[in-house]
């Protein structure tokens, strides 16, 4: 099984579905073995400082004590532990 890198994909992006040599192309699937999703772009916060900052800003805008905010914050804390 290929290694799974933690990333976040945003559906319905404006990038379209046509691969470009300017961007790395990812196959985005729902869950581990779900159907492939189209119209997404991928942020890799563990490798891209700008993506990490964007994720932090996004998380700060979520309602306090929400499950989504808690899950993303735990992910951010793990990345900070690896990079700090």
Report domain extents, the chain. Answer: 1-43, 45-84
C-alpha count within 13 angstroms, C-beta hemisphere, residue 77: 6
Taking the C-alpha atoms of residue 25 and residue 1, their distance in angstroms, rounded to an integer, is 19
Which of 6, 3, 1, 2 shows the shortest CA–CA distance to 46? 6
- Report pLDDT for 6: 55
Q: Which residue has the tokens 């999703």?
A: 37
pTM value is 0.58
12-54: pLDDT as tens digits: 445 455 555 455 567 788 888 888 887 777 788 888 889 889 9
């Amino acid at each position: 099984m290929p290694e799974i890198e933690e990333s976040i994909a945003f559906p319905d992006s404006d990038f379209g579905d046509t691969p470009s040599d300017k961007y790395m192309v990812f196959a985005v699937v729902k869950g581990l073995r779900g159907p492939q999703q189209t119209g997404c772009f991928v942020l890799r916060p563990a490798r891209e400082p700008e993506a990490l900052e964007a994720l932090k800003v996004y998380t700060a805008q979520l309602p306090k004590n929400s499950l989504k905010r808690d899950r993303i914050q735990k992910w951010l804390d793990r990345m900070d532990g690896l990079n700090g």
